[in-house]
Chain A
Amino acid sequence: MDNKKIKAGITVFPGSNCDYDVYRVLNAVFGVSASFIWHKDKVKNLKNFDFIVIPGGFSYGDYLRSGALAARSPVMELVKDYAFGGGIVLGICNGFQILLEAGLLDGVMLTNDSLKFECKDVYLSTLNTDTPFTCAVKKNSVLKMPIAHHDGNYFATDKIIDGLNKNDGVVFKYCDEKGNLSAGSNPNGSLYNIAGISNENSNVMGLMPHPERSSEKILGSEDGGHIFKSIIKYIKEK
């Protein structure tokens, strides 16, 4: 199967600002046919798409809780139907926050423990490689990607954490260069260094770091590309 035949939909809310980066990387770097879905587009469903990406940004300015307004936008009803039907949904940064607010993933985002916006490279330990987003990644491999967020301090009740652990729902944790989990490698105070989680069926994943900004060598890391490669591999083998 030619990558070109894979169709990706990228949701666009007022204030989305990583939409074009994801679009560019999917089309130009991975040869996928990606297109935008404006939040008010009158489409019946998203079944034409092989996967959906909710990109980063400041939807509605994030003047309320990050992602809270976008989660109630008409297109999110379609995303929910798509996800409940087993469709692959990836939320990046603000997209992760929107998935939490929409109830597609469990937990909440708090403001970073530094109380500041944090832009830097982080290292991620891949805990679960049995997902559509990580099936091309070697277990426990360490991926380098940039973060850029103000509210990435993941928090959840013990019950949610137990549930995540039971289902291998914690996909990525912040770690150091060598893969060691430590407080020093946690950029935002996130609970148990959690950087990315999936739902029970592992067809929905959200992560704070930006794989689209680390898919080309010239940008200092190609590690983020493994996530897109995984999705492509999964779809081809499905």
Chain B
Amino acid sequence: MNKTKKTNKPAEKLFGLSTEEYEKISELLGREPDDFELGIFSAMWSEHCSYKSSKVYLKTLPTEGGKVLIGPGENAGVVDFGDGDVLVFKMESHNHPSFIEPFQGSATGVGGIMRDIFTMGARPVANLNSLRFGSFSHPRTPYYLSEVVKGIGFYGNCMGVPTVGGEVVFDECYNDNILVNAFTIGIAKKDGIFLSSKCEIGNIVVYVGSATGMDGIHGATMASEEFDLKKNKKRSTVQVGDPFTEKLLLEACLEAMEKKLIVSIQDMGAAGLTSSSFEMADKSGKGMIINLDSIPLRTAGMTPVEMMLSESQERMLLACEKEKFSELKGVFDKWGLNCVIAGEVIKEKVVRFYYNSKIYKTLDVDVIVNGPEYKRPVKSPAYLKEIKPLKIKSYKMPGNLNDIALKIITNPNIASKKKVYTQYDYTIGTGTVVPPGFSAAVLRVSGNRLNQNKGFLLNVSGNSKYTYLDPFTGGALAVTECARNITACGGSPAAITDCLNFASPEDPETMWQFSSAVEGIKSAAIKLNTPVISGNVSFYNETAKKDGDRTYVSKIYPTPVIGMLGFIDDVNNAVTPYFKDEGDEIYILGSLNGNLGGSLYMDIIHNDFRQKPSALDLDYETRLQNCLRSLIAKGFIKSAADISEGGIFTALAESAIANPKRTFGFAVDYDINGLRADEFLFSEFEQAFILTADKELNGAHKAAVKKILGEYGIKLEKIGTVKNNEMKINGIINLKSDTIKEGYYSAI
């Protein structure tokens, strides 16, 4: 490398590239890049598009096996659903735009992920989302919450895709960086999948959808930087969503695909025309001519670099056989959308741009696409040395546990999110069998077949506090927690997508958290046989802050979020977590650890959650979940719930009050065997489930149950009985269910 030539460009002119990267580009080109080239490099070499810091770790994840047909690399992953059907899904972050402009940021996040799915030829059938906001009492949290939820509803509802589940978490670590992760799953025919890698020489390149405007320029670069003190200046980097146009684009694309008019297709997401043209060319091993004069514009006089970097939504680039163009245009005309010839697929691996009818630039595909790949320095975070196992004896046992229980159940992180999910249409599509608000969403494929009972389950989960305290376990727990929710409904986990939200990768401690969390995800995914088929990394979720004279960086906790797909043969056999009948018996399946480290209880009651959470025994976890699935398959189980945030008390209380038909209670009388009462009630993420069954479980079914338990080596203990409106545990808890219910549903 020519070491004499240091760039003297100031950092803000590099659009997020480092000085070294700029020099590398100069070396590759044999000269300094001009503004057009710099724009393209800055987008394609951005963290957001290139995964330059994460790739080395992501490569280690299991991506094959089971029912996986297509793993990472395409717009989304594909899983076999039998009978010639496939399911296509992915989760993606839209954190930075949502923090700058929460309504449009979240709306276009949902729009973007749906485009990824229908680009593959799949009709989106469900959305989920995972949201993180600052502390519930932070003055800006209500604004972010209401705008993000409105944005998600605005886009998803208009598209006619049900939003069937998700999570909403409040924590002060998100005060300066909210997270919006959007998940979409679609259904397609196995022989009707479309890829971005199928361009053939001589195909014409066609631009379809909305015109290109000035919105979202440098969006990918913006999402690859931390926020500084002038975040409001970044507003123009946020895209503006138009779900109506996307609905038309969806119908037009699926119609054109059905008529076999499309050879290859890629949506224009981050870095718009730049990434779609270069990535399609690269994946197809071809080159492309792009005629910038043909691009439909919203704003006259846009420069070539602005056209290339615009992230205007609802646009696609596709390759089509020349002779089929008029038919293709007919379809897009019907839906009132732009459809113009924008270029041609060529043999030479370059993208050649025409502008004002002349050759404007020719860029080598390999040079642009093969950006840097880093193995960034890693260092175990200093704070982890302070994270010790919890000694509960040093913390005073609260006098009145009823008050504590009420505080837990009304905590915004535990309380019902009904006010959020009722703003999303979750019933459209006539496929939602178990709606939001319970363990996992259960959907059937309604199609046009009446007796179609096979279904699938969806869940998204992540716990950043646990990941902060123990990154490996936090990563693994996100996977097992999704699997617990799906298993508790009677489903079999099949595959996952991941959305990895972290602070700056340039900080070795963050990179250590990242590598450990990925390692955790990997271990759990291998053990549970749920390959990672798609995903997304969002770094730089941190903000420079000023407090008087002091400047500091506000960073999010490491937040890996998993979206999981599971299968069920007959949705009529899906189990819900709520109690069904008074007099049913309550059981614990599994074993209790009683470790309160990292729990909500320690956080809000003792103001000290910084202790080590329990390690996960992945071998035990697999046996436990297989055991529960076997018991459910036999039809023995009437309700099943896992023990997550808020501990056993919360699991029992939710099971008692969540039945839409009536309110139940419980009487639990259980030998807690050396545990302190608070450890029993509130320790979280136990490797155990709360089940209910009628008396036959311990009667007529006794032998069959014993056999299943023996096979997996899992313990089942009766702890109590389903009651009417009262919650009683061992004489330490005595509450009215109505009181708990009132608090649970009205807290947020």
Across the interface, A58 reaches (CB within 8 A) one of B244, B336, B430, namely B244
Q: Known contacts A14-B335, A117-B423: does B160 contact A24 (CB below 8 Å)?
A: no
For A217, give the chain B residue with the smallest CB separation: B572
**Which of B349-357, B445-453, B664-672, B711-719 is the interface stretch?**
B445-453
CB of B243 within 8 Å of the partner chain? yes
CB of B622 within 8 Å of the partner chain? no
Q: How far is the CA of A70 from the CA of B449 in the complex (A)?
A: 30
Q: Point out the residues of chain A lying under 8 angstroms from B427, CB to CB.
A: 119, 146, 148, 210, 213, 219
**Which of A25-33, A82-90, A129-137 is the interface stretch?**
A25-33
CB of B466 within 8 Å of the partner chain? no
**Is there an interface contact between B247 and A24, defined as CB atoms closer than 8 Å?**
no
**Is there an interface contact between B248 and A21, defined as CB atoms closer than 8 Å?**
no
B700-712 CB mask vs A (1 if < 8 Å, else 0) is 0000000000000
Q: Point out the residues of chain B lying under 8 angstroms from A121, CB to CB.
A: 660
CB of B159 within 8 Å of the partner chain? yes
* Chain B 421-475 interface residues, beta-carbon cutoff 8 Å to A: 421-430, 432-433, 444, 446-450
For A187, give the chain B residue with the smallest CB separation: B422
Q: Known contacts A14-B244, A117-B153: does B572 contact A218 (CB below 8 Å)?
A: yes
* Chain A 205-225 interface residues, beta-carbon cutoff 8 Å to B: 210, 212-213, 216, 218-219
CB of B318 within 8 Å of the partner chain? no
A176 to chain B, nearest CB (A): 14
A99-140 CB mask vs B (1 if < 8 Å, else 0) is 000000000000000001111110000000000000000000
Across the interface, B425 reaches (CB within 8 A) one of A25, A61, A117, namely A117
**Is there an interface contact between B159 and A17, defined as CB atoms closer than 8 Å?**
yes
B95 to chain A, nearest CB (A): 23
**Is there an interface contact between A21 and B425, defined as CB atoms closer than 8 Å?**
no
CB of B405 within 8 Å of the partner chain? no
* Chain B 121-161 interface residues, beta-carbon cutoff 8 Å to A: 150, 153, 157-160
B contact residues, range: 35 or more
**Is there an interface contact between A58 and B444, defined as CB atoms closer than 8 Å?**
no
Q: Point out the residues of chain B lying under 8 angstroms from A25, CB to CB.
A: 430
CB of A18 within 8 Å of the partner chain? yes
Across the interface, A57 reaches (CB within 8 A) one of B150, B160, B433, namely B160
CB of B596 within 8 Å of the partner chain? no
Q: Is the interface of B mostly helix, strand, loop or mixed?
A: loop
**Is there an interface contact between A21 and B335, defined as CB atoms closer than 8 Å?**
no
Q: Known contacts A28-B449, A117-B157: does B428 contact A213 (CB below 8 Å)?
A: yes
Q: How far is the CA of A21 from the CA of B429 in the complex (A)?
A: 6
Q: Point out the residues of chain A lying under 8 angstroms from B572, CB to CB.
A: 218
* Chain A 3-24 interface residues, beta-carbon cutoff 8 Å to B: 14-15, 17-18, 21, 24
CB of A60 within 8 Å of the partner chain? yes
Q: Point out the residues of chain A lying under 8 angstroms from B642, CB to CB.
A: none
B261 to chain A, nearest CB (A): 19
B651 to chain A, nearest CB (A): 24
For A21, give the chain B residue with the smallest CB separation: B430
For B572, give the chain A residue with the smallest CB separation: A218
CB of B242 within 8 Å of the partner chain? yes
Q: Known contacts A21-B428, A25-B430, A29-B450: does B243 contact A120 (CB below 8 Å)?
A: no
For B157, give the chain A residue with the smallest CB separation: A117
Q: How far is the CA of A131 from the CA of B250 in the complex (A)?
A: 38
Q: Point out the residues of chain A lying under 8 angstroms from B159, CB to CB.
A: 17
**Is there an interface contact between A28 and B448, defined as CB atoms closer than 8 Å?**
yes
Across the interface, B450 reaches (CB within 8 A) one of A21, A28, A219, namely A28
Q: How far is the CA of A51 from the CA of B572 in the complex (A)?
A: 33
* Chain B 394-439 interface residues, beta-carbon cutoff 8 Å to A: 421-430, 432-433
Q: Known contacts A17-B428, A116-B423: does B433 contact A218 (CB below 8 Å)?
A: yes
Q: How far is the CA of A63 from the CA of B160 in the complex (A)?
A: 16
Q: Point out the residues of chain B lying under 8 angstroms from A18, CB to CB.
A: 160, 428
Q: Point out the residues of chain A lying under 8 angstroms from B244, CB to CB.
A: 14-15, 58, 60-63
Q: Point out the residues of chain B lying under 8 angstroms from A119, CB to CB.
A: 421-427
B694 to chain A, nearest CB (A): 22
Q: How far is the CA of A213 from the CA of B248 in the complex (A)?
A: 23
Q: Point out the residues of chain B lying under 8 angstroms from A118, CB to CB.
A: 422-423
Q: How far is the CA of A216 from the CA of B427 in the complex (A)?
A: 13
* Chain B 237-267 interface residues, beta-carbon cutoff 8 Å to A: 242-245, 247-248
Across the interface, B432 reaches (CB within 8 A) one of A28, A60, A219, namely A219
**Is there an interface contact between B153 and A17, defined as CB atoms closer than 8 Å?**
no
Q: Known contacts A17-B159, A118-B423: does B430 contact A61 (CB below 8 Å)?
A: no
Which residues of A line the B interface, CB within 8 A?
Answer: 14-15, 17-18, 21, 24-25, 27-29, 57-58, 60-63, 116-121, 146, 148, 150, 210, 212-213, 216, 218-219
Among all A-B residue pairs, the 6 with the closest Cβ atoms: A17-B160, A61-B244, A148-B425, A58-B158, A28-B450, A146-B427
Give 4 A-B pairs besides A117-B425, A210-B427 with Cβ atoms closer than 8 angstroms.
A17-B160, A24-B448, A58-B247, A212-B430
In the assembled complex, 22 residue pairs joining A and B whose CB atoms fall closer than 8 Å, in A order, are A15-B158, A15-B244, A21-B430, A21-B446, A24-B448, A25-B430, A58-B160, A61-B242, A61-B247, A116-B150, A117-B153, A117-B425, A119-B421, A119-B422, A119-B423, A119-B424, A119-B426, A119-B427, A216-B430, A218-B571, A218-B572, A219-B430
Which residues of B line the A interface, CB within 8 A?
Answer: 150, 153, 157-160, 242-245, 247-248, 335-336, 421-430, 432-433, 444, 446-450, 571-572, 660
